[in-house]
């Protein structure tokens, strides 16, 4: 029995033993998580591969989620003013392409904000991020720039840490503390002392000078010294659309869930190859409409803020093609594309002149009827190209090595000659000493 199967079996046995009341029966939506191998892998890895700890954590997650009715937390059930104020918001990505979940600490004023309401807002964002990112790791970003003592609430910070430690397995990539004022250092030392060892390993204290080591300038906000001019504006979540999108861009390897039809022909068909040239990382995808009717297509990715896709949607008449240019935003290494996936969606439309309004309506109604084509990503490093095609630099190095070899030979020859001269010199010195000794001896006899 695999560890995942063992976790599932032990969890079911624990449920059969009885669930505490409250909460009573677990939420069926949460129990769906137990059916997901991917989610159970997250729990298992979070618990350092310990099956018993994983079962206990899974059970506690179910109890906590039911007690707080987490699945029913939406913008209608939380303090909307706190959402709009932007104390918490997700934006940008770190060097590992993980979403930044930002706490704008100077907007938080201790004593003037209801802690219970703010805790609910935190859960709202964590749930939304997990849906939109499909469980991919995120980075917790504490923006402490310009903060004073009244902006730091240890209770709220520790609540966030507790959530991520106990109820959101394997969701944290880094914990970044940005521009921490010296007057708040003591408070953060207390927090650091309460963190588990795994969290301390992920903790990074940064300023404007070294933030680029974790967040590329193009992803960092201007107020952090970056180039991103984003200004937060709250946009309500469309739960129906997001859930569908999340489902579509998980790119699970279960091929039985979907069999692509013959509507589109993709080149390349399964694997996007990214190349780096002149500090620009890009790939191309050509889509051809093989159907007799007109089709509309859309392109999605697991890391939308990381890529520029042009065009990302369009309409193709029968037997026509469209080349898609995909460019990686600056600040990301070429190897980071290996983690990402792309999805091409297509559906039939009446004609090429369909209005944008009618097209949007058709896409909303399409649902599972839309055809899907999944693409993984790979890359070709520039060093591979150099190995494949010898360049002038390679030839130059070869020439230099040959020169060095010739010079080395000449040096060896000269050393041999020098050794010979040294032997002759030593011999002459020895003869001179002997002659001097004999002469001195003869003088004494006289």
The domain limits of the chain are 3-70, 74-237, 254-386, 396-446
In this prediction, residue 242 carries a pLDDT of 40
Return d(Cα 247, Cα 258) in angstroms, integer. Answer: 12
Neighbours of 251 (CB within 10 A): 18
Joined tokens for residue 79: 């303090």
Return d(Cα 308, Cα 332) in angstroms, integer. Answer: 13
Contacts of 235 (CB under 8 A, 6+ apart): none
In this prediction, residue 401 carries a pLDDT of 54
Q: Do domains 74-237 and 254-386 have the same CATH topology?
A: no
In this prediction, residue 70 carries a pLDDT of 97
Query: CA geometry: angle at 237 spanning 231 and 240, to 5°?
Result: 150
Q: Which CATH class is domain 254-386?
A: mainly beta
Question: Contact at 8 Å (CB) between 228 and 220?
Answer: yes
Return d(Cα 68, Cα 27) in angstroms, integer. Answer: 11
Contacts of 306 (CB under 8 A, 6+ apart): 93, 97, 328, 329, 332, 336, 340
Which H or E run contains 204? strand 203-206
Joined tokens for residue 132: 């939109």
Return d(Cα 3, Cα 47) in angstroms, integer. Answer: 12
Return d(Cα 168, Cα 164) in angstroms, integer. Answer: 5
Which is nearest to 196 in space by CA: 347, 53, 316? 53
At residue 147, φ and ψ (nearest 5 deg) are -90, 155
Considering the domain delimited by 74-237, tell me its CATH architecture.
3-Layer(aba) Sandwich (3.40)
Question: What is the bridge-based pairing of β-strands 280-289 and 307-310?
Answer: unpaired
Tell me the chain's radius of gyration from C-alpha atoms. 33
Dihedral angle of Cα 95, 173, 127, 335, to the nearest 10 degrees: 40
At residue 226, φ and ψ (nearest 5 deg) are -95, -165
Which is nearest to 299 in space by CA: 346, 347, 262? 346
Return d(Cα 404, Cα 281) in angstroms, integer. Answer: 37
Secondary structure percentages of the chain, helix, strand, coil, to 5: 50, 20, 30
Q: Residue 311 carries which DSSP code?
A: S
- Residuewise pLDDT in 10s, the chain (446 residues): 789 999 999 999 999 998 888 788 999 999 999 999 989 999 999 999 999 999 999 999 999 999 999 999 999 999 999 999 999 999 999 988 889 999 999 999 988 999 999 999 999 999 999 998 888 899 999 999 999 989 989 899 889 989 999 999 999 999 999 999 998 888 888 888 878 788 888 999 999 999 999 999 989 999 999 999 999 999 998 765 444 343 434 444 443 333 344 688 888 888 899 998 888 899 999 999 988 889 999 999 888 888 999 999 999 998 899 999 999 988 888 888 888 889 998 999 988 888 888 888 888 887 667 888 889 998 886 554 444 444 444 444 555 555 555 665 666 666 677 777 777 887 788 778 877 777 777 776 65
In this prediction, residue 368 carries a pLDDT of 65
Let me know how many helices (H) and strands (E) the chain has, helices first: 13, 14
Q: Residue 228 carries which DSSP code?
A: B
In this prediction, residue 393 carries a pLDDT of 46
In this prediction, residue 140 carries a pLDDT of 96
pTM exceeding 0.75: no
In this prediction, residue 400 carries a pLDDT of 55
In this prediction, residue 304 carries a pLDDT of 85
């Amino acid at each position: 029995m695999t560890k995942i199967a063992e976790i599932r079996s032990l969890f079911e046995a624990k449920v059969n033993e009885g669930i505490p009341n409250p909460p009573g029966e677990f939420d069926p939506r949460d129990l769906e998580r137990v059916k997901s191998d991917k989610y159970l892998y997250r729990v298992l890895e979070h618990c350092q591969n310990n099956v018993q700890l994983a079962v206990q954590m899974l059970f506690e997650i179910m109890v906590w989620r039911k007690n707080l009715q987490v699945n029913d937390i939406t913008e209608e059930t939380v303090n909307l003013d706190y959402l709009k104020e932007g104390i918490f918001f997700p934006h940008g990505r770190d060097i590992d392409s993980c979403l930044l979940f930002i706490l704008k600490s100077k907007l938080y004023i201790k004593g003037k904000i209801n802690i219970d309401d703010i805790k609910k807002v935190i859960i709202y964002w964590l749930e939304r991020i997990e849906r939109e990112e499909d469980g991919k790791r995120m980075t917790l970003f504490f923006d402490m720039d310009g903060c004073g003592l009244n902006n730091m609430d240890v209770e709220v910070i520790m609540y966030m840490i507790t959530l991520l430690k106990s109820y959101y397995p394997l969701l944290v990539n880094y914990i970044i503390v940005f521009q921490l004022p010296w007057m708040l250092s003591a408070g953060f030392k207390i927090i650091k002392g309460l963190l588990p060892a795994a969290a301390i390993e992920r903790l990074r204290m940064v300023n404007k000078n070294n933030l680029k080591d974790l967040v590329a300038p193009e992803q960092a906000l201007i107020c952090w010294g970056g180039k991103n001019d984003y200004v937060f504006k709250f946009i309500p979540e469309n739960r129906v659309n997001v859930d569908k999108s999340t489902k579509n861009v998980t790119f699970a390897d279960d091929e039985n869930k979907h069999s692509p039809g013959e509507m589109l022909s993709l080149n390349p068909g399964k694997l996007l190859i990214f190349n780096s040239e002149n500090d620009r990382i890009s790939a191309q995808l050509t889509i051809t409409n093989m159907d007799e009717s007109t089709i509309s297509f859309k392109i999605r990715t697991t890391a939308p803020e990381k890529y520029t896709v042009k065009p990302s949607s369009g309409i193709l008449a029968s037997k026509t093609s469209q080349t898609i240019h995909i460019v990686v935003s600056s600040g990301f290494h070429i190897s980071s594309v290996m983690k990402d996936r792309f999805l091409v969606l297509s559906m039939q439309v009446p004609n090429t002149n369909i209005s944008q309004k009618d097209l949007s309506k058709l896409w909303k109604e399409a649902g599972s009827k839309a055809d899907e084509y999944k693409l993984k990503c790979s890359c070709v490093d520039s060093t591979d190209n150099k190995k494949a095609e010898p360049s002038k630099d390679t030839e130059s190095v070869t020439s230099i090595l040959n020169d060095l070899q010739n010079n080395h030979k000449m040096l060896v020859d000269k050393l041999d000659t020098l050794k010979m001269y040294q032997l002759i010199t030593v011999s002459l010195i020895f003869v001179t000493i002997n002659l001097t000794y004999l002469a001195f001896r003869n003088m004494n006899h006289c």
